[in-house]
Amino acid sequence: MPNRHPSSPVAPSAAATAAARDLPPRVHGLLERLLGMVSSEMRRALDRMLVTMEIELEQHARMARNPALQAGHMAMLGALQRQRERFVPTYLRGLEQAVFGIRQPSTDTSPGVPTTRPEDLRLVDHSEVGEDAILDTIADRLEGRARLPLLLLGQRFGVLAGAPAFAARSLPVGPHRLAGLLTNAAEAVGLERESRTQLYRIFERQFIDDYAGLVESMNALLERENVLPGLTFVPLRRPRRRVEETTSADPAAGDTDAATRTGGFTGWLGQTVPMRERPKTEAGPDFALLRELLAARRSQASSGEPLPSEPRVSLDTGEVDAALGTLQARSSTTPAAHGVSEIRQALLAQSRLRLGQPAALSPEDNDTFDLVGLLHSGIGRELRPDSPSRMLVDRLQVPLLRVALHDHDFFLKPRHPARELLNAVAEPGARWLADDEVDPQLTTHMEQAVDHVVRHYDGDAAVFDTANRKLQQQIKRTSQKAEISERRHVEAARGREKLALAKQEAQALVDRAVGDSPAPRFLRNLLDQAWGDVLTLVLLRHGAESPEWTAHVADTSRIVAASLHGDLATPELTGRVSHALSLVGYHGAEAQAITRRLTGAPELDDDAASRTELAMKLKARSRLGSDATEPQAATLPRTPREQEFYDHLCTLPFGTWIEFPVNERGEVVRRRLAWYSPRTGHALFVNQRGQRIEDGSAPQNLDPVARLFAAGTAHVVTADRGGLVDRAWQATLSMLRGLGPGRTGTGEVR
């Protein structure tokens, strides 16, 4: 089957065409748009699934100790590579038939109403039951993630079909139908049951987070087209259960994806990491312990001499909050203070003017100011001096102080709304980003989010949550752009890899055919370049198991026998060689001249001048895949530690972030491992905007990456250390425990 462009539509099946012909024009148009949306998303998901499947089969084969088991994995890998180009079109044709067939009589029974006939009873194979059970489980989990949107989509599909609402099980784009189509596509390409089961698991792992968004997008499209506009669903609320019952289960429990199991922080810039993807870490100190650490650090920093003091009025927390509210209202029109110590001084000065005598904070409030100051200083060390984020973080200081005074969970819970917004605003200014990695539109939305908090916060932490949700929408759009860009680079890298491997195999075939026979340099150049391009093209188009490749392997042996050993070439061989050369860009007299020399035919103008002219033409011609990256072996043998890290890199999921050193001062840059090939070690790293890294800040091969890991200078960015605010807070805790330099009492770190 010829290759299709990733965005090209699949040829419709006869059944789908017949079904579509019977639909009203408006319904047909809406279903066509829906199908385009779903097909685009499913094509991306299926391509990613197949790549992961190939990688896992290679890893299983490499780690298998049983030769028979290893051979089985390699056989499955070979079958998948030979037939994978049929998989996606087969799947999408089945999806198209299901979508356009919504008005055709269905053979499915209604959910929950079994209609088993006596003659249908039979014993089934255990493997059949197991495979169906796996698919049902996957579909149920997908449905559980999008239950309400599926209910609304079923109502709208009922309108399109002129029938009652569709249940999730019978919905053409429902989870059960999408999962079931996997079996049809897998069987069509000849995958065995074990491979199909592995494929189902990968599909669930990679698609479960995307499905709810896809269903919501379909609902939004139909609503824009006035198909049940404004449709909502208000569920019947059950009586509230006792607290003991509702808190007995861990909300974060459940399966995690490959990125979480490896500790990878796979989100894009500023994205909120879902709770289920956050690893369980050691519990941090409570607020009382934080105060003890702060007091111990303060006593170590003091000189031991008591400071002179004067009677001061102690401000309660309500008065402090009111004074901060006044400063916050003023900061909406004037520049914000640059540190917590300045805010404290301004607050106390304002209170002295109001009370007519010196004022002081309570010990607990004073410690809160110090902790916020330490966190703010830690964040400042992680920010570039000239980034817009630095100014925005400064503007958030007063609202954050007000939050921390009333809610000490700000220090204790990474998912606190104020912490989430602070991280989303700070990360685009991180030192590990280049100046061109942040979308300018994102900066505008960050400013709007901070303005919203400064203007509206007055004790309700939901203001932070509202601002963060709006900002996360823009971050999601930015990350989608980055993902699209990354996908293009990955497709190009996989194409270059495939081309380079085909060229390598073609060269190896020519080398085997020539063997130890002495070949003139000019003739060897023709074999390596002209005929090598022919072999490469055949291998790319048809694969190593195809009859076309087998025929060209035989022709290679005949060409070598004719050109080097004087065997007589048949007219059929001459015709095939000339036609093959025309497919790679050689035409007319040039193709005929190369053919005569490759087949050993007598040359009428066989002199040095004609050979030189032809050699110059070959040298000037751009070869097939001349820009493809050639496979490279490691320049030096790896140490056991380097080999261990190399093997670990080959298990990382695509999308893992890695920190690379920039200089000897400890500065780092983060790069996303978008793709790699376990066969050759080639790697593709992109930046936060999904652009391929070409400035040398990240290697293009896993071998030097493994050496950097072994040297301790490169690291995987883990979820518990991925966020800038979390990272700054961990540094603050380390300082309070005596593991780093610091200063307390003023809110500044020295």
pLDDT per residue as tens digits for the range 541-599: 888 888 999 999 999 999 988 888 778 888 899 999 989 988 888 888 888 888 888 88
Domain's final residue, options 585, 620, 655: 620
Mark whether 89 and 169 lie in a shared domain: yes
Average pLDDT over residues 695-702: 82
Mark whether 163 and 212 lie in a shared domain: yes
Cα-based angle 177, 182, 183 (whole degrees, multiple of 5): 100
As a whole number of angstroms, the distance between CA 675 and CA 652 comes to 10
Q: Is the pLDDT of residue 130 over 70?
A: no
- Contact (CB, 8 A) for 700 and 647: no
Mean pLDDT of the chain: 79
How are beta strands 656-661 and 668-676 bridged, if at all?
Answer: antiparallel
DSSP E strand stretches across 99-254: none
Tell me what percent of the residues of the chain surpass a pLDDT of 90.
24
The phi and psi torsions of 672 (rounded to 5 degrees) equal -100, 125
- Contact (CB, 8 A) for 391 and 449: no
- Owner of token pair 């070959």: 618
Give 158's Cβ-side CA count (13 Å radius). 13
Express each pLDDT in 99-123 by its tens digit: 998 888 654 433 333 344 444 444 4
Q: Is the pLDDT of residue 312 over 80?
A: no
Average pLDDT over residues 400-417: 92
Phi-psi region of 297 (alpha: psi -120 to 50; beta: other; left: phi over 0): alpha
Question: Would 134 be classed as within a structural domain?
Answer: yes
Q: Identify any residues that bridge with 676 across adjacent strands, giving them in sequence order.
A: 683
Which of 164-173, 243-252, 362-371 has the lowest average pLDDT?
A: 243-252
Q: Is the pLDDT of residue 356 over 90?
A: no
Task: Write down the pLDDT at residue 109.
Answer: 36
Mark whether 322 and 446 lie in a shared domain: yes
Task: Write down the pLDDT at residue 269.
Answer: 66
As a whole number of angstroms, the distance between CA 553 and CA 546 comes to 11
Task: Write down the pLDDT at residue 635.
Answer: 62
**745 vs 677: which has the higher pLDDT:** 677
pLDDT band at 233 (very low <50, low <70, confident <90, very high): low
Q: Is the pLDDT of residue 337 over 50?
A: yes
| Burial of 362 from C-beta contacts in 10 A (0-12 / 13-18 / 19+) | middle
Q: For residue 668, what is the enclosing H or E element?
A: strand 668-676
Q: Is the pLDDT of residue 253 over 60?
A: no
Mark whether 35 and 63 lie in a shared domain: yes
Q: Is the pLDDT of residue 681 over 60?
A: yes
CB neighbourhood size of 55 (10 A): 21
Task: Write down the pLDDT at residue 45.
Answer: 87
Give 732's Cβ-side CA count (13 Å radius). 30
What does the block give as tokens for 28? 């047909």
Q: Is the pLDDT of residue 618 over 60?
A: yes
Domain's final residue, options 177, 194, 224: 224
What does the block give as tokens for 266? 């796979």
CB neighbourhood size of 163 (10 A): 12
As a whole number of angstroms, the distance between CA 629 and CA 500 comes to 6
Question: Would 370 be classed as within a structural domain?
Answer: yes
Q: Is the pLDDT of residue 400 over 90?
A: yes
Nearest C-alpha neighbor of 218 from the set 209, 206, 227: 227
Give 663's Cβ-side CA count (13 Å radius). 4
Task: Write down the pLDDT at residue 745.
Answer: 39
Average pLDDT over residues 232-244: 44
Mark whether 541 and 423 lie in a shared domain: no
Q: Is the pLDDT of residue 214 over 60?
A: yes
Average pLDDT over residues 268-281: 53
Task: Write down the pLDDT at residue 376.
Answer: 93
Average pLDDT over residues 429-434: 82
Mark whether 331 and 188 lie in a shared domain: no
Task: Write down the pLDDT at residue 310.
Answer: 61
User: What three-state secondary structure class fits 500?
Assistant: helix
Task: Write down the pLDDT at residue 13.
Answer: 56
**Domain around 588:** 515-620
Give, as one character, the DSSP assignment of residue 190.
T
* Rg of the chain (C-alpha set): 33
As a whole number of angstroms, the distance between CA 266 and CA 686 comes to 13
Q: Is the pLDDT of residue 195 over 50?
A: yes
- Contact (CB, 8 A) for 211 and 218: no
Nearest C-alpha neighbor of 77 from the set 47, 91, 56: 56
Question: Would 731 be classed as within a structural domain?
Answer: no
Nearest C-alpha neighbor of 444 from the set 389, 485, 395: 389
For the chain, how many structural domains are there in total?
A: 4
As a whole number of angstroms, the distance between CA 195 and CA 199 comes to 6
pTM above 0.85, yes or no: no
Mark whether 528 and 410 lie in a shared domain: no
What does the block give as tokens for 695? 């400035």
Task: Write down the pLDDT at residue 620.
Answer: 66
Phi-psi region of 681 (alpha: psi -120 to 50; beta: other; left: phi over 0): left
- The pairs formed by 129-138 with CB atoms below 8 angstroms and a separation of 24 or more are 130/197, 131/183, 131/193, 131/196, 131/197, 134/197, 134/200, 134/201, 135/176, 135/179, 135/180, 135/182, 135/183, 135/200, 136/176, 138/175, 138/179, 138/200, 138/203, 138/204
The phi and psi torsions of 125 (rounded to 5 degrees) equal -70, 145
Task: Write down the pLDDT at residue 424.
Answer: 92
User: What three-state secondary structure class fits 675?
Assistant: strand
Q: Is the pLDDT of residue 311 over 70?
A: no
Mark whether 53 and 193 lie in a shared domain: yes
| Burial of 41 from C-beta contacts in 10 A (0-12 / 13-18 / 19+) | middle
As a whole number of angstroms, the distance between CA 43 and CA 4 comes to 12
Mark whether 466 and 334 lie in a shared domain: yes
Average pLDDT over residues 451-480: 91
Task: Write down the pLDDT at residue 266.
Answer: 54
User: What three-state secondary structure class fits 87?
Assistant: helix
As a whole number of angstroms, the distance between CA 593 and CA 615 comes to 11
Taken as a whole, the chain contains a residue count of: 750
Question: Would 504 be classed as within a structural domain?
Answer: no
Question: Would 266 be classed as within a structural domain?
Answer: no
Q: Is the pLDDT of residue 322 over 60?
A: yes
Taking CA atoms, 648 is separated from 13, 455, 471, 706, in Å, by 44, 49, 35, 9
The phi and psi torsions of 564 (rounded to 5 degrees) equal -105, -30
Give 575's Cβ-side CA count (13 Å radius). 3
Mark whether 417 and 538 lie in a shared domain: no
As a whole number of angstroms, the distance between CA 474 and CA 70 comes to 47
Mark whether 430 and 543 lie in a shared domain: no
- How far separated are the first and last CA of the chain, in Å rounded? 67
Task: Write down the pLDDT at residue 119.
Answer: 45
Question: Would 347 be classed as within a structural domain?
Answer: yes
Contacts of residue 378, Cβ cutoff 8 Å, sequence gap at least 6? 728, 729, 731, 732, 749
Give, as one character, the DSSP assignment of residue 701.
B
As a whole number of angstroms, the distance between CA 715 and CA 705 comes to 10
Average pLDDT over residues 143-163: 88
- Contact (CB, 8 A) for 350 and 323: yes
Q: Is the pLDDT of residue 305 over 70?
A: no
As a whole number of angstroms, the distance between CA 453 and CA 450 comes to 5
- Contact (CB, 8 A) for 170 and 108: yes
Helix, strand, coil percentages, rounded to 5, for the chain: 60, 5, 35
Q: Is the pLDDT of residue 144 over 60?
A: yes
Taking CA atoms, 392 is separated from 179, 262, 426, 429, 448, in Å, by 46, 34, 8, 10, 10
pLDDT band at 53 (very low <50, low <70, confident <90, very high): confident
Question: Would 388 be classed as within a structural domain?
Answer: yes
Task: Write down the pLDDT at residue 212.
Answer: 85
- Contact (CB, 8 A) for 254 and 179: no
The phi and psi torsions of 610 (rounded to 5 degrees) equal -65, -40
Task: Write down the pLDDT at residue 602.
Answer: 59
What does the block give as tokens for 730? 């961990």
Question: Would 245 be classed as within a structural domain?
Answer: no
Task: Write down the pLDDT at residue 263.
Answer: 43
Express each pLDDT in 500-548 by its tens digit: 889 989 999 999 988 888 888 888 888 888 899 999 999 988 888 889 9
Tell me what percent of the residues of the chain surpass a pLDDT of 70.
78
Mark whether 554 and 688 lie in a shared domain: no
Domain's final residue, options 180, 208, 224: 224
Task: Write down the pLDDT at residue 250.
Answer: 35
User: What three-state secondary structure class fits 77?
Assistant: helix
DSSP E strand stretches across 316-364: 359-361
Q: Is the pLDDT of residue 79 over 60?
A: yes
Average pLDDT over residues 379-399: 90
